[in-house]
Each structure stands twice: as structure tokens, then as C-alpha cells.
Amino acid sequence: MKLYFAPGACSLSPHIVMREVGANFDLEQVNNQEKKTKSGADYWTINGKGQVPVLEFDNGERLTEGPVIVQWIADQYPAAGLVPPAGKPERYRVQEWLNFITSELHKNFGPIFRPNTPDAYKQIARQNIEGRFKWVDQKLAGRQYLMGDQFTVPDAYLFVMTNWAQRVDIPLDPYPNLKAFRERVAERPKVKEAMKAEGLIQ
């Protein structure tokens, strides 16, 4: 398997999950501005959506969409406990979180990162994120992770969102549970490994 990623992008979420389950995989870095892979391929030919992450299987098939990729990986390694089995009520709680993070958090960061977004809209996106963070913070009260004591796939995704918050100067101090969550996840050995491999920490 090969994971196409860009350093610090949303592809860090499946990257963390790959390491947490102990999967064997290769990494291929993508230059998202030039749409080129590190080995020189035209990234549009890898993913017509022009986005990371992409998970490429040994038979050449490719899976896109981070929230789906993480579930696929975790389902291959059920003993790692990163997703509850399909059919269990908890599985749909995990999906509820993934869907929330992708639509309510992830997609509000894009306009803030983009240099050509009008400032007034950046402000609205920032307020959206702050409101969502407040809600997540309440949900994390008394919990180590989104699903309780067990680290599951949406935790990796939420961790990436908290990294982005730092990049765009959204402080986590008003959200003490979320801030503690970020610190807890950052200490996980596999998370550190993934961050190092992407050049995000030393």
C-alpha cells in the first residue's frame, strides 16, 4: 500500500492510523501547489480531484476521502481497536464524528489557508471553527478521546484540526479539554513517528 500525503495536511490522519495499526506501507509526498509527486508524477493522474490523501493498493486501485480511508485501514486490523465493528452502535458514533470533523471543521479551514479568500469570509470561517471547538470541548469533558478511553480514527483527524488551529492562530486556551486532548494525542509514540516522517517535528 502507498499513501500519498502532503506534510501536515489532512493526510496526516490516515498516516497516523497506518502507524497506529502497525500497517506496512510506503509514503509518497505530493506537492499540492504544483500537483506533482516527489518522484515526478503528475498528481492529477493519481487523483482527478487533485487532493491528498490517496491510498493506493498493490493492485493499483486507489481509495480517496480521508474519513473512508481511515475506516478501511482500521477495519483491516480489528485487534487494534481503532474502529468498532460495522453494525455496532458505536461504529455510527465514530462515523458521526468523522462526518462532523470533515464537514464542520476541515472545510472551514480551507478558506482561511487560501490567500485569495476575502478577509470578511475568513472571519466567518474562523468563527465557525471556534463555535465547533466549543462544542467539541464540551463533549471531551471527562474523556481522554472522542469515544472515551479508547483512541479511535476520528481522534487522529481531530488532532490534525488542532494542529491547523495553531497554524492560523486560533488559540486552544478557551477549550481546555480540547487542548488537553491535543497534548495527549501528540504524546502518542505513533503520532510522533508520523509527525517526524512528515518533517513536522524533529
Ligand X SMILES: N[C@@H](CCC(=O)N[C@@H](CS)C(=O)NCC(=O)O)C(=O)O
Interface residues with ligand X (CB under 6 A) are: 9-10, 32, 50-53, 65-67, 102
Alpha-carbon distance values, 16 to 25, 147, 173, 175, 176 (Å): 12, 17, 25, 23, 23
The minimum distance between CB 182 and ligand X, in angstroms, equals 18
The minimum distance between CB 198 and ligand X, in angstroms, equals 12
Residue with Cβ nearer ligand X (45 or 189): 45
The minimum distance between CB 98 and ligand X, in angstroms, equals 9
Rounded Cα distance between 41 and 45, Å, is 8
Residue with Cβ nearer ligand X (25 or 180): 25
The minimum distance between CB 32 and ligand X, in angstroms, equals 5
Which of 107, 132, 134 lies closest to 121 in space, CA to CA?
107
Q: Find out whether 179 and 141 touch, Cβ atoms under 8 Å.
A: no
Q: In the structure grid, which three cell numbers stand for residue 56, read together?
A: 493506493
Residue with Cβ nearer ligand X (10 or 136): 10
Residue with Cβ nearer ligand X (48 or 87): 48
Amino acid of residue 150: Q
